[in-house]
Amino acid sequence: MTITSSAGSDITPQAQLVTIVVDGVAIQIPKGTLVIRAAELLGIEIPRFCDHPLLEPVAACRMCLVDIEGVPKPQPACAQVVSDGMQVRTQLTSPIARDAQEGVMEFLLLNHPLDCPVCDKGGECPLQNQAMSAGRPESRFEGEKRTFPKPINVSAQILLDRERCVSCARCTRFAEQIAGDPMLELLERGVRQQVGTAADQPFDSYFSGNTVQICPVGALTSAAYRFRSRPFDLVSVPTTCEHCASGCSLRTDHRRGTVTRRLAWDEPAVNEEWNCDKGRFAFTYQELGRVETPLIREDGQLRVASWPEALDFAARGLAAASSHGVLVGGRSTIEDAYAYARFARVALKTDNIDFRVRDSSDEEAQFLRSSVAGTAVRTTYETLEKAPVVVLIAFEPEDESPIVFLRLRKAARGGTRIYSVGAAATRGLAKMRGTLIPAKPGAEAAVLAELAEHVRVDLSTPGAVIMVGERIAGVEGGATAVLELARATGAALTWVPRRAGERGALDAGALAGLLPGGRPLTDDSARGAVAAAWGVDSLPATVGLAGTALLTAARDGAIGALITAGVELADLPDQILGRTAIEAVGFVVALENHHSAVTELADVVFPVAVVTEKSGTFINWEGRPRPFAQAFKDALVMSDAVVLGMLASAMNIVVGASDVAGIRRELGALGAWPGPRAEQPSSPAGQVVQGAYLVATWRELIDSGVMQEGEPYLAATAHAVAATVSVTTAGALGNPELVTVTGPLGSVTVSLQIGDVVDGVVCLPLNSPGCALYRDLGVRSGQAVTIEGAV
Amino acid sequence: MITSGLTPVITEHWDKPDLYTIEGYRRVGGYQGLATAIKMDPDAIIGQIKDSGLRGRGGAGFPTGMKWGFVPQNDGKPHYLVVNADESEPGACKDIPIMLANPHALVEGVIIASYAIRASHAFIYIRGEVPHAIRKVAYAVEQARASGLIGENILGSGFSLDVVIHSGAGAYICGEETALLDSLEGYRGQPRLKPPFPAVAGLYASPTVINNAETIANIPYIVDRGVPWFRQFGTEKSPGFKVFSISGHVVRPGIYEAPLGITMSELLDYAGGIRGGGEVKFWLPGGSSVPMLTAEHLDIPLTYEDMAAAGTMLGTGTPMLFDNTVSVVKAVTRWLDFYKHESCGKCTPCREGTYWITGVLEKFEHGRGSAAEVDTLVNLCSQIAGRSFCALGDAAATPYPAALKYFRAEFEAATSTSADAQFDPVASYVFAEAATR
């Protein structure tokens, strides 16, 4: 593995310091710091509700009033900027501050119900805690509390108990300032003030769950967690999100072997304190449809087998085959992906391996080998925030890497100019104040080659970034054009895959022609070094099959045995090829945690662990390792690497460490490849397909993905499924309400929506309920469809 | 220094039925101030207003010229003038009569002030409940526009100005200047965090001057007649004249324009004294948001400084007087009910405090208060005053402690006797028969 720190590469100038005194203790802090932050640095905690370090100050709750010398009235520490020589006295040393805080607390509790015993927040509630630390022992209020009907839905997932709300406006500020989804707003006035939404516009934000987490009382709860547990009954484990390549830190809370909820955890360098709703709520899949024991096929039927029997069966089947292939889905940890990469070369003596069980191309493979695999961390979230210009290519951050979206939005609010090369100016792009560089699907390479001069000039600014999504694989000449653009402008180029395991699998060498750390297989010294590290005399020296070539070879009977791991056949654009390929392989060994289309066809199925049952590391899009610990300490399910190790033993082959620590040691020892890299692709720009209507498509964040199963409230907040076209295109179609879109395999009927889309292009969700393009239409991005108004 | 007698300036020609038209206004010397101003250097006008010592008539009494001087010049940003005509203070009724009777004084003041602060857009935010006043001002603006006094290149000076009239939607908080700006921008009216102050980042984040309507109506006269003329009225610290609106149990409630420094007793004489020869029980010099005074304070000059020394404020300069038929418990309860209703909800002390205090006061009004609560309320008011986000909370915390200072016995009696039993409510009605009183 090749992760190096970028420390020392840039030196931030020292901010101007001022000296202030808090409760008699002097501290030097940068000018512009808020008093409440300065006090925190001294370990002095001033009580607060509306204050949140990532939201703009509002000074509404008045809980943090402190006494500042020379100022007649107590001042809110959350909004007061320090000035040199300022003397601050908090509740610890000032009777005025103490009295003011007690007064505010008494007011806050006035209309707050005493329903802590049935409130989800009870036990982890800032109001409860601070009422104890900063409140009077008893209230003098004897009147009637204000009440509201409870609870109301602000979205399918988020519920609001208005009488618990203390009007801190954290949720509304989050919605407006961070997510850019200002559907939550304060309504009415006085004690009738309440959070609410417009009647026809629920709070369907991809980031809505964060409001539940930052609510300092129990006013906002999620339908998924409401009334499910008491916080003090939960066991909390720091984890990493497995849903995308953003690499969010999470906290997984579990009780009696079941995950009860997940929270965004504090990681300033990555997700700050936020995550998306998929990362927060989509974990029920972990328990559904699990493979629980090894299975082997006997007389055409899968049956339960013991581990020794299944291992022996698999070992013999693999040994009997003369040619092999390995398909590692994009969800593996780097440790597991490394185990596959090593197993393929050492145990199966093949280089036929790919982690891209999705739309892929040889050009993309060349791009990844030459320019991404094993490269050091260069572009980070922080770089994005400081970048003057960011150009997005084949990448819709809000859907495909939501924390990248949040950081780009933050950057845009700070002045970063954002361009997106694509077919549609989406709402996500508008929220990033971005500009669309229109390109019909398939024309991206040509558009990049003829990019407007001012964008090229922009991109030549130091610090400029090009972000390219995994969908570039579907664009002929796309990766070549992107590399050329980066070379010509000097902008940093970064690849943002969608799945959490892809970057790790690439760094681990789970791709034909590539060994760990970005080592080209064809480089003799690189190959020799890896062979030595793995304790074998030699490794396959010719580049194996990958992507469609591997599947085609399988279909044509050229692959005798295949190992699959985390493979979802529905992710392949050519679903017929995928299925016939698996069917044609003589012997299929599946390492899966869930029953799927692949396990139905496999000859041996081994159960493997999901993320809660193992430890490991995801490498996020930055190239940053995001290690996580095993949540369920006593889980008995084994990781892929352990199962592969046992399988190798059954084959009488030694493959090296199969535990996480051991694999990390091996990866660390190999390190990054300093030598010459694989060759860059040079493919000509593709031609745009002829046809009246071309499809532009990507996977929406909340869709029919198998890892979102079992969470109906989350599913209900998905974007409405629609075909989005330009006004002109809609007019040409006669502005029908519904349209039927037809491709080679069939058609779907969806509602028509007008948007800022290139004429002649129809935007459709790739895999949403009622609109699964690969399965229902048999088309991928850039292909032609017919559209007709439907009744 | 003239500090007594009536000195009608803004109200001088209110008996002329066509004063609201540009012709009528011009006939009495209108728009001469503008003609003078437009030839002056804008900074000279700011200097003149500074020298005049004119203080804001909206309640706080901040020096107007100084406020104008805060606007950064040559900053490349648009500047805005916003006129606060959202007159909503209980007891105040002076801006609305000015707009009804003499709207061109306001419009002329707007043009001069905009020219001085280099604003090419001015907004007049008028309380939505007074459409008749809005119509009058709108008509005046249209006439001024038709006469080339608003629009491009005013009077050949090269200065251009557009004036927009905006109607409020019924929120007291929108009289608070930053809440007014939010409302004007189309948001829900709630006060903004300061800094930045409006002079630096106000309307649409640009430098903005917000002045009360009466303040702006003063401007044409000062520019036209000069600083010495203006300063002959009032006192050193409170120069000028004031449109006093007198209400309550007086024989002739209404508008009385007099120099600052006049006493309440002199004004009361003009207003015909308390009805039926009665006596003042308590009075408020400037709306419900200032502490009340009693009959012993009637001879204190009505200036910013003297009112402050007496423990109250001149406020909007709209005295409300109450005679002996009135229950102070009931009056304070009504005011608090108003503040509870109008509290915007943004900050905790005002939102929750007004709710709590009003509930307790309602008990007192019905004779169910407790002795302990008489003092609890004082403490609650002290928890609001100076701790709320804006001045609305301070205002809400004002009536009770002031009332308690002079009428503690009445609150103590309200622990067993209702306000109506202490004071026959019918007797306090304006139309009550003398016999009932």
Q: What is the pLDDT of residues B138-148, one digit of tens each?
A: 999 999 999 99
End-to-end CA distance of chain B: 41
Mean pLDDT rounded to a whole number for chain B: 96
Q: What is the pLDDT of residue A459?
A: 97
Phi, psi (rounded to 5 degrees) for A179: -80, -30
* CB-CB neighbors (< 8 A) of A65 in chain B: 387
Q: What is each CA distance from A354 to A327, A359, A504, B73, B177, in whole angstroms?
A: 5, 12, 13, 65, 65
Are A619 and A508 spatial neighbours (Cβ–Cβ below 8 Å)? no
- CA nearest A167 in B: which residue? B346
Distance (Å) from the alpha carbon of A231 to chain B's nearest alpha carbon: 28
Type of residue found at A599: T
Beta-carbon contacts of A568 under 8 Å, excluding residues fewer than 6 positions away, are: A329, A357, A596, A597, A598, A706
Is B112 a residue whose pLDDT tops 50? yes
3-state secondary structure of A307: helix
Structure tokens at B435: 């016999």
Other Cβ atoms within 10 Å of B27 Cβ, number: 13
Dihedral sign from CA coordinates of B25, B27, B32, B35: positive
Is A132 a residue whose pLDDT tops 50? yes
B347-366 per-position pLDDT tens digit: 999 999 999 999 999 999 99
Find the length of chain B.
Answer: 437
Nearest to A61 among B193, B348, B383 (CB): B348
Cross-strand pairs, A196 = A185
Q: What is each CA distance from B200 to A60, A484, B70, B190, in whole angstroms?
A: 22, 47, 8, 19
Tell me how far apart the alpha carbons of residues A129 and A123 are, in angstroms, rounded to a whole number. Answer: 8
DSSP H or E run through A187: strand A185-187
Is A406 a residue whose pLDDT tops 90? yes
Measured between CB atoms, does A110 come within 8 Å of chain B? Answer: yes
User: HSE (CB half, 13 Å, CA atoms) of A29?
Assistant: 22
* CB-CB neighbors (< 8 A) of B345 in chain A: 167, 186, 188-193
Work out the pLDDT band at B431, boundaries 50, 70, 90: confident
Tell me how far apart the alpha carbons of residues B431 and B437 are, in angstroms, rounded to a whole number. Answer: 11
Tell me how far apart the alpha carbons of residues A634 and A618 are, in angstroms, rounded to a whole number. Answer: 22
Report the candidate in B291, B240, B285, B284 with the shortest Cα–Cα distance to residue B261: B240
ipTM value of the model?
0.95
* Angle, CA of B48, B50 and B55, to the nearest 5°: 125
Other Cβ atoms within 10 Å of A337 Cβ, number: 36
Measured between CB atoms, does B383 come within 8 Å of chain A? Answer: yes
Question: Helices (H), strands (E): how many in chain A?
Answer: 25, 39
**DSSP state for residue B203 in the 8-state scheme:** G
Type of residue found at A696: A
Q: What is the pLDDT of residue A14?
A: 63
Tell me how far apart the alpha carbons of residues A166 and A194 are, in angstroms, rounded to a whole number. Answer: 9
% of chain B exceeding 70 in pLDDT: 99
Beta-carbon contacts of A417 under 8 Å, excluding residues fewer than 6 positions away, are: A388, A389, A390, A435, A458
Work out the pLDDT band at A163, boundaries 50, 70, 90: very high
Are A226 and A120 spatial neighbours (Cβ–Cβ below 8 Å)? yes
Which residue of A55, A61, A62 is the best one to mutate when testing the B interface, meaning the one whose CB has the most B CBs within 10 A? A62
State whether B387 and A100 contact (CB < 8 Å). Answer: yes
**Mean pLDDT in residue range B335-344:** 98
3-state secondary structure of A235: strand
- CA nearest B394 in A: which residue? A73
A361-384 per-position pLDDT tens digit: 999 999 999 999 999 999 999 999
Q: What is the 3-state secondary structure (H, E, C) of A3-42?
A: CCCCCCCCCCCCCCEEEEEECCEEEEEECCCEHHHHHHHC
Is A443 a residue whose pLDDT tops 80? yes
DSSP letters spanning A128-177: HHHHHHHS-SS----SPPP---S-EESSSSEEE-GGG-----HHHHIIII
% of chain A exceeding 90 in pLDDT: 97
Phi, psi (rounded to 5 degrees) for A222: -100, 145
Is B187 a residue whose pLDDT tops 70? yes
Restricting to B residues 93-112, those with a Cβ less than 8 Å away from any Cβ of A are: none
User: HSE (CB half, 13 Å, CA atoms) of A370?
Assistant: 15
DSSP H or E run through A577: helix A575-584
Report the candidate in B376, B434, B422 with the shortest Cα–Cα distance to residue B400: B376
Q: What is the pLDDT of residue A12?
A: 52
Restricting to B residues 160-179, those with a Cβ less than 8 Å away from any Cβ of A are: 171, 173
* CB-CB neighbors (< 8 A) of A61 in chain B: 347-348
Which residue of B174, B355, B388 is the best one to mutate when testing the A interface, meaning the one whose CB has the most A CBs within 10 A? B355
* CB-CB neighbors (< 8 A) of A140 in chain B: 376
Is A6 a residue whose pLDDT tops 80? no
* Angle, CA of A516, A518 and A522, to the nearest 5°: 90
**Mean pLDDT in residue range A392-415:** 98
* CB-CB neighbors (< 8 A) of A189 in chain B: 171, 173, 342-345
Q: What is the pLDDT of residue A9?
A: 44
Nearest to B348 among A62, A73, A74 (CB): A62
Tell me how far apart the alpha carbons of residues A644 and A343 are, in angstroms, rounded to a whole number. Answer: 7
* CB-CB neighbors (< 8 A) of A108 in chain B: 348, 352
Distance (Å) from the alpha carbon of A154 to chain B's nearest alpha carbon: 20
Other Cβ atoms within 10 Å of A378 Cβ, number: 15
Q: Is cis: bond before B195, omega within 30 of 0?
A: yes
Is A507 a residue whose pLDDT tops 70? yes
Tell me how far apart the alpha carbons of residues B437 and B428 are, in angstroms, rounded to a whole number. Answer: 7
State whether A79 and B193 contact (CB < 8 Å). Answer: yes
Is B150 a residue whose pLDDT tops 50? yes
* CB-CB neighbors (< 8 A) of A168 in chain B: none
- CA nearest B189 in A: which residue? A189
User: HSE (CB half, 13 Å, CA atoms) of B198?
Assistant: 20
**Mean pLDDT in residue range B135-139:** 98
Phi, psi (rounded to 5 degrees) for A280: -80, -45
* Angle, CA of A56, A62 and A66, to the nearest 5°: 100
3-state secondary structure of A262: strand
**DSSP state for residue B161 in the 8-state scheme:** B
Tell me how far apart the alpha carbons of residues A223 and A717 are, in angstroms, rounded to a whole number. Answer: 12
Q: What is the pLDDT of residue A235?
A: 96
Q: What is the pLDDT of residue A286?
A: 95
Phi, psi (rounded to 5 degrees) for B36: -70, -50
Phi, psi (rounded to 5 degrees) for A79: -120, -5
**Mean pLDDT in residue range A328-345:** 97
Report the candidate in A269, A500, A245, A247 with the shortest Cα–Cα distance to residue A385: A269
Q: What is each CA distance from A451 to A445, A488, A687, A749, in whole angstroms?
A: 10, 12, 17, 36
State whether A190 and B346 contact (CB < 8 Å). Answer: no
A209-255 per-position pLDDT tens digit: 999 999 999 999 999 999 999 999 999 999 999 999 999 999 999 99
Measured between CB atoms, does A131 come within 8 Å of chain B? Answer: no
State whether A59 and B348 contact (CB < 8 Å). Answer: no
Tell me how far apart the alpha carbons of residues B358 and B329 are, in angstroms, rounded to a whole number. Answer: 11
**DSSP state for residue A225 in the 8-state scheme:** T
Are B394 and B384 spatial neighbours (Cβ–Cβ below 8 Å)? yes
* CB-CB neighbors (< 8 A) of A96 in chain B: none
How far is C-alpha A99 from the chain's CA centre? 46
State whether A167 and B342 contact (CB < 8 Å). Answer: no
Tell me how far apart the alpha carbons of residues A712 and A155 are, in angstroms, rounded to a whole number. Answer: 12
State whether A103 and B351 contact (CB < 8 Å). Answer: no
- CA nearest B194 in A: which residue? A79
State whether B349 and A58 contact (CB < 8 Å). Answer: no
Other Cβ atoms within 10 Å of B340 Cβ, number: 21
B167: exposed, middle or buried (Cβ count in 10 Å: 0-12, 13-18, 19+) = middle
Tell me how far apart the alpha carbons of residues A707 and B201 are, in angstroms, rounded to a whole number. Answer: 48
Work out the pLDDT band at A5, boundaries 50, 70, 90: very low
State whether B345 and A74 contact (CB < 8 Å). Answer: no
Tell me how far apart the alpha carbons of residues B133 and B126 are, in angstroms, rounded to a whole number. Answer: 8
